[in-house]
A and B are shown apart, each in its own frame.
Chain A
Amino acid sequence: MLTNPLTKNIGAEDAAPDLEAYRNNDGYRGWLRALKMPPEDLIDLVQKAGLRGRGGAGFNTGLKWSFVPKDRQAHPIRYLVCNADEMEPGTFKDRLLMERDPHLLLEGMAIAAHAIGATSAYIFIRGEYHLATQRLETAIAELNDAGLLAPETTGADQTLRIYLHRSSGNYICGEETALLNALEGKRAIPRAKPPYPQVSGLWGRPTVVNNVETLCNLPHLLLHGADWYRKLGHGEDAGTKLFGASGKVNNPGLWELPMGTTVREIIEQHAGGLKAGLTLRGFLPGGGSTDFLGPEHLDLPMDYDAIGKAGSRLGTGTITVLDEATCPVGLVLNLTRFFARESCGWCTPCRDGLPWVVEILQRIESGAGEIDDLELLRQHTSRMGPGNTFCALAPGAAEPIQSALKLFEQDFIDHIRGGSCPFH
């Protein structure tokens, strides 16, 4: 049985299969199967398969779809949006899927569009992803030229239109309601929820926003079934995932592995361990907005709940490795600078809190910090926490800070007591 559904078409060569090659390799068969199913059955299948959102939040995809109003007469226009705004620091997985197998994403989108009854779909892609944009453009043109999205194939009333929207930048565009504002041509500022986009999204229409990798899971899930999909995972979670590792490891990269693969296997086996002479100090399991975990967590399975119970989040599943020769305070400062700059400015804890935290961290890193600063930092992380802000940006920014204060507290103290950065 197939064990690498996400990467089976990805070879060593930096090229993408064209429509013909993709179709010759089971391509668009999952979609044709989905078209024969009533949307409710399709939603049910995906929900039962246990596919969870790969953008970071890990919400059950079928369940997300099920919130779209069923009454098609009352809601004739619905939208599907693919979130391809990969911008989380340390994350590089969607790029691979879009550059190397664009038709897999398009097939996934066609399946999702059928499930929710959308006839227009947008791919919201980062402005910096030039090659991925180019390859997706080519693949969309191939599909349209072949007439595959026309009513004759889909049985729908209208042709499914898939459009590329190139983002003009900003991390916050990856937040789904901010993304919808950007698509509407506005400043990308998050919206209050509820209403959720599934009920009132793009131009007030029912809208589903799914991550690239989530959508890429659909074609084979449809072709091989929910049982097969569930069994791909090693632990609690179903399916496979693109896991990655970067930092000072011997073989930084990206690998499709079963959900529930241990952190140790990813770092030691696939990434080849840390570079000579270095030892592991900690790691961010899935991007810059996840809490640091330590060497004691190496045997944890990369599952949403297992990583959650350890006090962090699986996030995007691309691990950033911190070695013991790299300054944790400096790394947290780098991350917080990023979040401070990317704040949309809408709410106070984020707009004003983050630059303040940057100032404190800068002070500590340069050796001018005071011991009271640690308490101040802790206060800030709780003020920026969930429930105090419009969206998840500031709570996400707080995660590496609050966990670094626990795991690497002595480093902060050494900076303050020593009056300089011990790593310089």
Chain B
Amino acid sequence: MEEQQLPEFHRIPVRQEGEAPQLSAEEINEIDEERSHYECDGAAGLEALRIVQRKRGWISDESLRAVSAYLGIAEAELEGLATYYQLLFRSPPGTEVIQLCKSSSCWILGCEQLQADIIEELGIGPGETSTDGIFTLLENPCLGACDRAPVLLMNGELHTHLSGEKLRALLAEKRRRHADQSTD
């Protein structure tokens, strides 16, 4: 494929050299791999944010600057992406991110009650993280599992046919696991 130069304004350095926070070698490898999939380097910015978040849990100011410095994409542009896309986090979530499906089918089958149960159990509403730092609750538009509604996704794992009872058991189990880990 032919080489394309990014317009000059994309390349304005945002920090003096040497001052820039670093990406790990692993992150750089993955970003370079993704970058090779696209005709234009600009596409790597969004991929880099996703990769950095997967390694670090969220996108801090430092991470954003590191990606900016490495790819030569303006910080403001990356910030525009990081604040636009729902699955990119600009503040640290809990270790267990609950994505509660709020689709029409899950609504018909009681997702509002499940949300009320989560608020009662964990004391957190949508977009909030529990004080112990374990749980973050997010609303999801539709998890594409309407035949198994109501559902939620927790750290990549789909939990289906939920009831209040099943939800409480799930949260209790996660809590137990975290308590065990912290006493190890």
Distance between Cα atoms of A323 and B80 in the complex (Å): 42
The verdict on B118 contacting chain A, using a C-beta distance below 8 Å, is: no
Contact of A90 with B105 in the complex, beta carbons under 8 Å: yes
Chain A nearest CB, measured from B34 CB (Å): 9
In the complex, whether A284 has a CB less than 8 A from a CB of chain B is: yes
Alpha-carbon distance A167/B142, docked complex (angstroms): 14
Query: Is the pair A187, B81 in contact by a Cβ cutoff of 8 Å?
Result: yes
Q: Given A166-B50, A334-B107, decide whether A87 and B40 contact each other with a Cβ distance below 8 A.
A: no
Is there contact, CB below 8 Å, between A254 and B147? yes
Specify which of A95, A187, A253 lies most central, judged by the most chain B CB atoms within 10 Å of its CB: A187
Q: Is B123 an interface residue (CB 8 A)?
A: no
Bitwise, A103-126 to B at CB < 8 A (1) or not (0) is 000000000000000001010001
Given A77-B39, A185-B42, A338-B141, decide whether A168 and B104 contact each other with a Cβ distance below 8 A.
Answer: no
State which residues 7-41 of B face A: CB under 8 Å: 37-40
In the complex, whether A229 has a CB less than 8 A from a CB of chain B is no
Does A188 lie within 8 Å of B84, measured CB to CB? yes
> Any chain B CB within 8 A of the CB of A47?
no
* Contact (A127, B144) CB under 8 Å given A89-B103, A284-B104: no
A320 contacts the other chain (Cβ, under 8 Å)? yes
Interface of A is mostly: mixed
A246 with B50: CB separation less than 8 A: no
Cα(A131)–Cα(B144), bound, Å = 12
Interface string of A364-390 (1 = CB under 8 A from B): 000000000000000000000000000
Say whether A168 contacts B85, CB under 8 Å. yes
Known: A77-B1, A128-B99. A89 touches B88 (CB 8 A): no
> Do residues A320 and B104 form an inter-chain contact, with CB atoms below 8 A?
yes
In the complex, the chain A residue whose C-beta lies closest to that of B37 is: A163
B147 touches A338 (CB 8 A): no
Min distance, Cβ B79 to any Cβ of chain A, angstroms = 11
Q: Is the CB of A86 within 8 A of B144?
A: yes
A-B contacts counted at CB < 8 A amount to 145
Residue of A nearest to B105 (CB): A246
Specify which chain B residues have a CB less than 8 angstroms from the CB of A326 in the assembled complex.
Answer: 108
* A87-B144, A284-B104 known; A203+B149 contact, CB < 8 A: no
Residues of A within 8 A of B87 (CB): 127-128, 167-169
Contact for A128 among B38, B45, B102, B140, CB less than 8 A: B140
- Interface residue tally on A, bucketed by range: 35 or more
Q: Which of B2, B4, B141, B143 contacts A171 (CB 8 A)?
A: B141
CB-CB under 8 A for A185 and B81, given A168-B49, A203-B40, A326-B108: yes
Is B145 an interface position by the 8 A CB rule? yes
Given A77-B1, A88-B142, A168-B88: A246 and B147 interface contact (C-beta under 8 Å): yes
Asked whether, in the complex, the Cβ of B107 is within 8 Å of the Cβ of A168, the reply is no
- The verdict on A168 contacting B86 (CB below 8 Å), with A187-B81, A338-B102 known, is yes
Contacts of B143 in A (CB 8 A): 128
Measured between beta carbons, the chain A residues less than 8 angstroms from B43 are 183-185
Minimal beta-carbon separation of B62 from chain A (angstroms): 20
For A52, the chain B residues whose CB sits under 8 A away are: none
Asked if B108 and A252 make an inter-chain contact with CB atoms under 8 angstroms apart, the answer reads: no
**With A185-B42, A334-B102: A128-B108 Cβ-Cβ less than 8 Å:** no
Nearest CB to that of A182 among chain B residues?
B46
B47 interface residue, CB < 8 Å from A? Answer: yes
Contacts of A322 in B (CB 8 A): 108
Chain A 298-338 per-residue mask, 1 if CB under 8 angstroms from chain B, else 0: 00000000000000000000101111001000110011011
> Given A168-B50, A187-B84, A252–B45 Cβ distance below 8 Å?
no
Q: Name the A residues within 8 Å of B49 (CB-CB).
A: 168
- State in angstroms the CA–CA spacing of A88 and B104 once bound together: 10
Most chain B C-beta atoms within 10 Å of own C-beta, residue among A120, A128, A170, A342:
A128
Give chain B residues whose Cβ lies under 8 Å from the Cβ of A167: 85, 87
Interface pair A185/B47, CB less than 8 Å apart? yes
Q: Is there a chain A Cβ closer than 8 Å to B162's Cβ?
A: no
Contacts of B39 in A (CB 8 A): 77, 120, 202-203, 205
Which residues of B come within 8 Å of A, CB atoms? 1-2, 4, 37-40, 42-47, 49-50, 80-81, 84-88, 99, 102-105, 107-109, 140-149, 153, 156, 158
Please report A residues at the B interface, Cβ cutoff 8 Å.
77, 86-92, 94-95, 120, 122, 126-131, 161, 163, 165-171, 182-188, 202-203, 205, 244-248, 252-254, 284, 288, 318, 320-323, 326, 330-331, 334-335, 337-338, 341-342
A-B contact pairs, 22 of them (CB 8 A): A77-B2, A86-B144, A89-B141, A120-B37, A165-B47, A169-B85, A169-B86, A183-B43, A185-B40, A185-B43, A185-B45, A186-B42, A187-B80, A205-B39, A244-B146, A246-B146, A252-B105, A252-B148, A320-B104, A331-B108, A334-B104, A335-B104
Additional pairs, 17, CB under 8 Å, beyond known A186-B46, A246-B105: A88-B142, A89-B105, A89-B142, A92-B147, A95-B145, A120-B39, A128-B87, A168-B46, A168-B86, A170-B84, A185-B43, A188-B84, A188-B85, A246-B146, A247-B105, A252-B149, A338-B141
Minimum-distance CB pairs A-B, first 5: A169-B86, A168-B85, A246-B146, A169-B87, A185-B43
